[in-house]
Structure 1
Amino acid sequence: MAASGDSAALAARAAYPANRWLIAAVVGMAAFMEVLDISIANVSLSHIAGSLSASQEEATWVLTSYLVSNAIVLPISGWFSQVLGRKRFFLISIVLFSVASLACGLAPSLGWLIVARIFQGVGGGGLQPVSQAILADSFPPKERGMAFAIYGVAVVFAPAIGPTLGGWITDHASWHWIFLLNVPVGVMLFVVAGMLVRDTAAYEAARRAKMAGFRIDYVGFALLAAGLGCLQIMLDKGQQNDWFDSSFILTMAVIAVSCLSALVLWELFHPHPIMDIRLFRHFNFAVANLLMFMLGFVLLGSTLLIPQFVQSVLGYTSTLAGLVISPGGIAIVLMMPLVGFLSNRIEARWMVAFGLGVVSLSMFHIAGFTGDVSFSQLVVARIYQTLGIAFLFIPLTGIAYIGVPADKTDQISAFINLARNIGGSVGISLVTTWLARRAQFHQNVLVGEITPYDHQYNALVQSLTEHFAQMGAGIEAARQQAVATIGRLVSEQAQIMAYLDDFWLLGVIFAALIPLTLLVGSSRQSDASVRPEH
């Protein structure tokens, strides 16, 4: 009996690729390259605008165009994998992403760059979910945690290092190279992935069987493209256009809500849906998507807030602001293998609850900072936060597969990656809007407390007036300078309080999610549900 069990285990292990760890490195690099391009161009917008004779507002379409096309392709990457074959679609995505990156780097005008970024987003939209699906089917359940750790390093470290790397490349070379560097990497990945990645005979046979009598869901695709496209534009441009006071943003919101609502109803009853909405009937899958949405929310939201805080409030340079963020990314790289190791020994739900708790406490910790916080305190706080994030990605990915049929691997990875990306967009929009609103609120409160009858205010005006008078200003000019100085101090204090409110809000949101993890099923159920067909 023991011998027969051992041979069965060996046979099962042999069914997986012998070079699977090399495959993990290749698909991890592909995901890293794609996620990096979401954030790497952020710090180079002013250089791009100046070089291409465009305004700063026009240059933001370089970011928006990529996010829109990327968001549209992400959820239907599973459908493309079924239609074209997973390996073929993966290689096509690498080629399209690399060629579009070359076009971006050589762009002679802003219009050219925006069109190239659209195609780059289309190519990139297939890289993340297909990479994850390849990992899920290339590794036995006991090794899957470590495999997802490699992928997790890519998708979590990339947005953390992106602004720093983009700033360094722009300062020491030019903005063109943030795109051109993708080309040799893409060529290398295409060659190596072409040799290593395989669609098994069983997978190909199952795919062809599903294609029998298959018809393209044109209506679903149109609703998806319009809905997600308008949603992404609304999120990206909302604060800039004063949200729903703008007829443009209001129109985008109406189209997004109408199309996405219609999409859900249409896909539920379509025999060959472009997105399998019915997967959300699996409770664990639905919870994993919600929590992954929130992971993107806080990761990208805080990655935006912290550099802005240290630059606008503390006067840090762009390079120094990047150095505040980067150690957190390194901490994630170091922690992911440990989390992958623990994922086979500790229930995923407990790891997620722990990660949520750590991130929540780290946000409350940052919310207690003042204007004289030191560089080392900021770095430690960021590392503190990312340690919690490291305990979220791998377990959440595993939870998504619990109880879901094994032939839905492509769809699962597509949805989970879409949730993280849309969560990041919503997080950036919300924290930016909340920051502006809270800064205005605090400024109104502080100004309301300053009156001619306030003895402290009068004493400060008198002291500053004497100071400026000693510097050579006339009495009236000195008094105006004193009042202006107090106004700047009030504005700076209101800005600090607004940032701290944002961090506090993120802490509250993550703390509120902890009880949800108690409802998730045991991760031990996932072993049987995600086995690839061999």
Structure 2
Amino acid sequence: MRRADRARNPDARTHAMTTATATADAAPAAPPPAAPGFLPASVPLTTLGLALASFMQVLDTTIANVSLPTISGNLGGSANQATWVITSFAVSNAIALPLTGWLSRKYGERKLFMWSTLAFVIASFLCGIASSMGFLVFARALQGFVAGPMYPVTQALLLSIYPPQKRGQAIALLAMVTVVAPIAGPILGGWITDNYSWEWIFFINVPIGIFSSIVVGRQLKGRPERLEKPKMDYIGLATLVLGVGALQILLDLGNDEDWFRSQLIVVLAIIAAISLAVFVIWELTDKDPIVNLRLFRHRNFSAGTAAMVVAYAAFFSVGILVPLWLQRNLGYTAIWAGFATAPIGILPVLLTPFVGKYASRFDLRMLASLAFVAMSFTSFARSHFNLDVDFNTIALIQLFQGIGVALFFMPVLQILLSDLEPHEIAAGSGLATFMRTLGGSFAASLTTYAWTERGAVHHAHLTERVSAYDPSTMQQVAALGGGDPQTGAAVLERMITQQAAQIGFNEIFHLLGIIFLCVIAFVWLAKPPFGAKAGPAAAGGH
């Protein structure tokens, strides 16, 4: 069996999971430019509309994971083509994120939220009516692109309707919603696919999106916003699209094309390297860059963003590998894999409101360090798993990791935004979100590749111990097949493959445990105070 064939199925699920969590827990957007004191007619109703839109968008990035085999079968596509259903969303979403600042300055947060949410509804409907794999890939790319501004703008609008002293709780509320959504996605997607049809995983967005758009649009009508006519950085956008797109496609196709033995992969690598180099140089010298890389001159922003990107990539690698391992190695169904991983959301739901309310009383570096220690502990615990591990043990480790999730995002986000000037917060939020999204997406491909490769290496080592010329060995092989040597050989091959994959799984989690501990150093490079700087933006004005 070729390496590409072994890698194909994990890649498909990998990129779906990546996009999901990449959007969830995004960096808080800048305090919006609304005039201080503006409140909607109903703060709870507006909060509900914003939360539902966020939940819908994050949910949709994972809800399709478990349905990919059914979708590709119904539309006559291969497993490799099913991967593009996920990849198209991830790449488009990452490319659209940096455009959020430009769009919000030109059209305003309220209008951008309404139109991006309605566009998401339309794209979801197109996904549901797709009759071919090509059309579904196009619709998913459109869906990912219009989803790019949704989460940052949702954060900005949510912060604008709460007073400064309650904004930590508002961020915590949104974080809680987006922690639950990726967990609920696979369970809900499996249930819908099993009991109805895969199209409904997209159709359910239609009423939710329409409701959210109408409610938020009406509640925030009259919200003061200062519109501008910003210059579009076309060169920055073009090099960003080429560089990120080529790099993501390279990572997606690497396993299938046997990496740099393929001319296509070499060409993609050259395009990505040149485009990203030009992008960095241009953005550092342009007066109005689409991505303001000069923000890295701030110490806390640099340290916090580095911690966020590395820790998030490791965190999402966990979210990718565990469900894959449960289904491939332990034989769990998609729904039961979702049940086993779901406990990770319990403690964040319970603790996040308290973290948002009381975190400012502690050193945020200490809270983040505790988060990384908890994640490291759970990673090391998984590195000792075997093929006989029971459901309760898996669920308990997931539950404990929830402590890390609850203490991770909010403190690190506040650290990285703490030393930005008020007028830089919007750009800083967008840049941190953009880099974290790319980090998660790239980590997805690399983690799956590493698991496949380590499994192949250990498979080779284990098979070296089996000799077809050893009579006692062949006798045991025949016994595995009930006396039939061929059946026994097939059984043995299956056992070796599972064991090799398990060893690779354990090695990767041992490495992830080390990575989480190393990230603590990034956090402690930051210097207090970590409160937002005073200024019009911090106060809610512009």
Normalising by structure 1, we get a TM-score of: 0.88
Mean Cα displacement is larger for which, 488-497 or 192-201?
Answer: 192-201
Please state whether the residue corresponding to 2:257 is helix, strand or coil.
coil
What is the letter of the counterpart of residue 243 of structure 1?
W
Q: Which residue of 2 aligns with 1:520?
A: 526
> Relative to structure 1, is the Cα distance of residues 458 and 367 closer, same or farther in structure 2, using a 3 angstrom cutoff?
farther
Mean Cα displacement is larger for which, 13-22 or 95-104?
Answer: 13-22
Q: Which residue of 1 aligns with 2:10?
A: none
Residues 131-178 of structure 1 show CA distances to partners (whole Å, capped at 9, x for unaligned) of 223344444443222111112123332222222221111111111111
Determine if contact 2:57/2:147 at 8 Å carries over to the other structure.
yes
- Whole-angstrom CA distance in 1 between matches of 2:214 and 2:340: 36
Q: Which residue of 1 aligns with 2:261?
A: 245
- Whole-angstrom CA distance in 1 between matches of 2:180 and 2:355: 15
Q: How does 1:505-516 map to 2 (within 5 A)?
A: 505-516=511-522
Please state whether the residue corresponding to 2:313 is helix, strand or coil.
helix
Candidates 379, 389, 392, aligned match of 2:395: 379
Q: Which residue of 1 aligns with 2:343?
A: 327
What is the letter of the counterpart of residue 492 of structure 1?
Q
Q: Which residue of 2 aligns with 1:404?
A: 420
Determine if contact 2:306/2:522 at 8 Å carries over to the other structure.
no
- Whole-angstrom CA distance in 1 between matches of 2:485 and 2:252: 43
Residues 473-527 of structure 1 show CA distances to partners (whole Å, capped at 9, x for unaligned) of 4xxxx44544544333322211111111121121111111112111112254425
Candidates 150, 155, 166, aligned match of 1:143: 166
Q: Percent identity over the alignment?
A: 35
What is the letter of the counterpart of residue 508 of structure 1?
I
Q: Does 1:157 align with 2:163?
A: no
Where does structure 2 lack aligned partners over 5 or more consecutive residues? 1-34
Determine if contact 2:467/2:473 at 8 Å carries over to the other structure.
no
Determine if contact 2:67/2:189 at 8 Å carries over to the other structure.
yes
Determine if contact 1:87/1:199 at 8 Å carries over to the other structure.
no
Where does structure 1 lack aligned partners over 5 or more consecutive residues? 1-12
Q: Which residue of 1 aligns with 2:219?
A: 196
What is the letter of the counterpart of residue 46 of structure 1?
P
Determine if contact 1:349/1:523 at 8 Å carries over to the other structure.
no
Mean Cα displacement is larger for which, 40-49 or 237-246?
Answer: 237-246
Q: Which residue of 2 aligns with 1:173?
A: 196
What is the letter of the counterpart of residue 147 of structure 2?
G
- Whole-angstrom CA distance in 2 between matches of 1:24 and 1:231: 37
Q: Which residue of 2 aligns with 1:63?
A: 86
> Relative to structure 1, is the Cα distance of residues 431 and 518 closer, same or farther in structure 2, using a 3 angstrom cutoff?
same
Determine if contact 1:293/1:423 at 8 Å carries over to the other structure.
yes
Determine if contact 1:16/1:140 at 8 Å carries over to the other structure.
no
Q: Which residue of 2 aligns with 1:15?
A: 37
What is the letter of the counterpart of residue 426 of structure 2?
D
> Relative to structure 1, is the Cα distance of residues 422 and 341 closer, same or farther in structure 2, using a 3 angstrom cutoff?
same
What is the letter of the counterpart of residue 494 of structure 1?
A
> Relative to structure 1, is the Cα distance of residues 30 and 69 closer, same or farther in structure 2, using a 3 angstrom cutoff?
same
Q: Which residue of 1 aligns with 2:454?
A: 438
Please state whether the residue corresponding to 2:241 is helix, strand or coil.
helix
Q: Does 1:230 align with 2:252?
A: no
- Whole-angstrom CA distance in 1 between matches of 2:530 and 2:90: 36
* CA displacement at 1:417 relative to structure 2: 2.1
> Relative to structure 1, is the Cα distance of residues 101 and 467 closer, same or farther in structure 2, using a 3 angstrom cutoff?
closer
> Relative to structure 1, is the Cα distance of residues 238 and 508 closer, same or farther in structure 2, using a 3 angstrom cutoff?
same
> Relative to structure 1, is the Cα distance of residues 467 and 311 closer, same or farther in structure 2, using a 3 angstrom cutoff?
closer
Q: Which residue of 1 aligns with 2:289?
A: 273
Please state whether the residue corresponding to 2:61 is helix, strand or coil.
helix
Mean Cα displacement is larger for which, 457-466 or 28-37?
Answer: 457-466
- Whole-angstrom CA distance in 2 between matches of 1:431 and 1:347: 32
- Whole-angstrom CA distance in 2 between matches of 1:299 and 1:524: 24
Residues 375-432 of structure 1 show CA distances to partners (whole Å, capped at 9, x for unaligned) of 0000011111222022111112212221212223332332232233212212211210
Determine if contact 2:307/2:520 at 8 Å carries over to the other structure.
no
> Relative to structure 1, is the Cα distance of residues 279 and 266 closer, same or farther in structure 2, using a 3 angstrom cutoff?
same
Q: Figure out how many residues of one structure are paired with residues of the other and give that number.
A: 506
Q: How does 1:487-498 map to 2 (within 5 A)?
A: 487-498=493-504
* CA displacement at 1:531 relative to structure 2: 3.2
- Whole-angstrom CA distance in 2 between matches of 1:58 and 1:139: 45
Q: Which residue of 1 aligns with 2:271?
A: 255
Mean Cα displacement is larger for which, 91-100 or 237-246?
Answer: 237-246
Determine if contact 1:130/1:414 at 8 Å carries over to the other structure.
no
* CA displacement at 1:52 relative to structure 2: 1.6
Alignment RMSD (CA, Å): 2.5
Please state whether the residue corresponding to 1:105 is helix, strand or coil.
helix
- Whole-angstrom CA distance in 2 between matches of 1:350 and 1:430: 30
What is the letter of the counterpart of residue 345 of structure 1?
R
Q: Which has the higher contact order (CA 8 A, sep 6+)?
A: 2
Please state whether the residue corresponding to 1:60 is helix, strand or coil.
helix
What is the letter of the counterpart of residue 293 of structure 1?
V
* CA displacement at 1:298 relative to structure 2: 2.8
Q: Which residue of 2 aligns with 1:499?
A: 505
Q: Does 1:77 align with 2:100?
A: yes
Determine if contact 1:137/1:531 at 8 Å carries over to the other structure.
no
Determine if contact 1:285/1:401 at 8 Å carries over to the other structure.
yes
Please state whether the residue corresponding to 1:157 is helix, strand or coil.
helix
Please state whether the residue corresponding to 1:240 is helix, strand or coil.
helix
